[in-house]
Amino acid sequence: MNAPNQSGWRPAMGSAETLDSPTASGDRALMLEEPLIFELGRAGTCGVDIDEAELGTSDALAPFLRKAAPALPGLSEPETVRHYTRLSRQNYAIDLGPFPLGSCTMKHNPRLNEKVARLPGFADVHPLAPQQAVRGALETIAQLADWLMALTGMAAVAMSPKAGAHGELCGVLCIKAALQARGDDRRIMLVPESAHGTNPATAAFAGFAIENIPATPEGRVDFAALTARLGPDIAGVMITNPNTCGLFERDMKAIADAVHAAGGYVYCDGANFNAIVGKVRPGDLGIDAMHINLHKTFSTPHGGGGPGSGPVVLSAALAPFAPLPFVTRDTDGAARLIEEEHALEDHPSSFGRMAAFHGQMGMFTRALTYILSHGADGLRQVAEDAVLNANYVLRSLEDVLDAPFAASGPCMHEALFSDAGLAEGFSTLDIAKGLIDEGFHPMTVYFPLVVHGAMLVEPTETESKAGLDRFIASLRSLAERARAGDESLKSAPHFAPRRRLDETLAARKPVLGWRD
């Protein structure tokens, strides 16, 4: 085999046909070609012996009886174990290497968090259990809420939203309720180009019309354009800080003051809170509502869609409009859950419920464990190290990859690159697919939309310098190949279980079911 270069990439041996040719079985060494479980299974096979049920059939249930056995695959126990183990080998996981996904904050999940979350009193708690039976869970929620308010400098927190976009909706509905309470029918929400992509969708879902605010050439909100648009029809602004270009909005306090003076409210997308936790309190910047992705800032990498949790911190101006249910403390200091609808009589300004039950208990326990194990000083170091790592990536690659805002000064927790400077015909997608051959999960691509061919890299604070150097070397190698016009990069990945797919066709015509 050819010797690897500095990045670990090995040039293809022989022709592309040699590289791509499967073995007779389709397997490549320990990377086995695994059929679907329906293709493996056989009717009548089962991994355990089950006695025939001796149940009578009532006339009431007769219409619901199966006419035939369900078409489920039958496998022995070893076949089942091997099938899922082989599939697991085709997965990428945070325990294998970094997820450099910009804006997603996919960091190491401390095992201590998992141990606490699995304690019987937390893991077995039921949402319909009487309050006197779940005092410890309520105290955990209350302590976490206290920490979130302290870290953000806000007056209240709604714990029930399930994740980021759900939290956005909660904050926007609080703004809508506050406007309605004062009889103010404002219908327009301003959303800067550098905000998260879900922000305009959330505002539209809540019934607001959306107007965009442009970014400056340095990647920040155009303050002059924003203030020029303020008026009696503006409900507020939804801003992301640090923004999706990886930059801190230096005019944040001035923006908030201007919006408040015009009678509006300020919503901040807190998905990037990991960059400033322990360093900046959003409440001090004039923000009225901000969701916090517990699964990002306080660990539990959320690949695969969960688990998520998106508490929303609220300013004193919006606190009365927080949704049910919520935890409060009695005069004796005991935590109590306000969950009954008649509680609206005591809290008439609440806009109602966001969800049937009170948030994601598994994430509450993990987040509080993370916070208590770090402490205030440790959380500050989380932000500092995340920013340090991102700037190390940015400055190590800006000579081979276009970094559109590198001249704007240090970035925050993520480094932004573009496909400018690559050879004609080469794109961000080629770099991303090439990273798979290098043994890394690709970074976030084609976002933010304000940068053509964007590549957004967030290393997080949990990556070591040695790990970052390995990633940087691989990305440098790919950038140099793309700049030199290496055609083999256009067909990457070559060593993954599947070659490059037609992603457009997969999105428009997905095959989601099995047919024999």
Predicted pLDDT at 67: 84
Give the pLDDT band of residue 438 (cuts 50, 70, 90).
Answer: very high
Distances (CA, A) of 311 to 168, 234, 386: 9, 25, 22
Distance CA 492, CA 30 (A): 20
Q: Where exactly are the structural domains of the chain?
A: 14-37+71-91, 112-368, 376-508
Identity of the residue numbered 59:
D
Residue with tokens 């040695």: 466
CA-wise closest residue to 447 among 425, 464, 432, 467: 432
Please name the residue that has the structure tokens 């089950």.
50
30-39, 162-171, 226-235, 500-509: lowest mean pLDDT where? 30-39
Residue 204 CA to residue 172 CA, distance in Å, equals 10
E strand or H helix at 178: helix 164-181
Asked if 137 contacts 144 with a C-beta cutoff of 8 angstroms, the reply is no
In 3D space, the residue among 307, 250, 273, 268 whose CA is nearest the CA of residue 414 turns out to be: 273
Show the beta-strand stretches assigned E in 430-515.
Answer: 444-445, 455-457
Least Cα distance to 271 among 219, 195, 213 occurs for 195
**CA-CA-CA-CA torsion for 272, 278, 282, 285, nearest 10 degrees?**
-120
Angle, in degrees to the nearest 10, between helices 465-484 and 428-437: 130
Paired with 329 in beta bridges are 335
Nearest of 345, 421, 329, 470 to residue 9 by alpha carbon: 470
**Residue the block writes with tokens 């294998």:** 96
C-alpha span between 510 and 120 (Å, rounded): 41
Helix axes 465-484, 361-397, angle to 10 degrees: 50
CA separation (Å) from 302 to 5, 12, 299, 370, 440? Answer: 33, 35, 9, 15, 17
Domain 112-368, classified CATH 3.40.640.10, yes or no:
yes
CA 313 – CA 174 distance, rounded (Å): 11
| Rounded CA separation 142/140 (Å) | 5
Q: For residues 469 and 117, what is the distance between their CA atoms, to the nearest angstrom?
A: 34
For residue 266, list its beta bridge partners. Answer: 237
State residue 410's pLDDT score.
95
Name the band, by pLDDT with cuts 50, 70 and 90, for residue 13.
very low
Q: Is the peptide bond before 325 cis (omega within 30 degrees of 0)?
A: yes
As a whole number of angstroms, the distance between CA 262 and CA 39 comes to: 64
| Contact indicator for 103, 458 with CB cutoff of 8 Å | yes
CA distance 116 to 136: 13
The pLDDT of residue 1 is 34
Q: From 412, 30, 123, 127, select the one nearest 244 (Cα to Cα).
A: 412
Other beta carbons within 10 angstroms of residue 459's beta carbon come to 28
* Contact of 309 with 165, CB cutoff 8 Å: no
Mean per-residue pLDDT over the chain, rounded: 89
- The dotted CATH code for 376-508 is 3.90.1150.10
Mean pLDDT lowest among 24-38, 104-118, 210-224, 401-415: 24-38
Interval 457-499: pLDDT, tens: 999 999 999 999 999 999 999 999 999 999 999 999 998 888 8
In the structure, what pLDDT confidence band is assigned to residue 291 with cuts at 50, 70 and 90?
very high
Per DSSP, 219 falls in state S
Q: Where residue 19 falls among pLDDT bands split at 50, 70, 90?
A: very low
- Give the Cα separation of 50 and 34 in Å (integer): 28
Question: From CA 161, how far away is CA 312, in angstroms rounded?
Answer: 7
Residue 372 pLDDT more than 90?
A: yes
Nearest Cα to 384, choosing from 251, 279, 311? 279
Return the minimum-mean-pLDDT range out of 50-54, 218-222, 267-271, 326-330.
50-54
- Tracing tokens 């679907």 back to the chain, one arrives at 36
**Confidence band (pLDDT; 50, 70, 90) for 203?**
very high
- Contact of 323 with 158, CB cutoff 8 Å: yes
Q: Which residue in this structure is represented by tokens 């970052």?
A: 468
* Structure confidence at residue 20 (pLDDT): 52
Q: What string of DSSP letters covers 221-233?
A: B-HHHHHHH-STT
What backbone phi and psi angles, to 5 degrees, belong to 128?
-100, 5
C-alpha 222/C-alpha 153 separation (Å) is 26
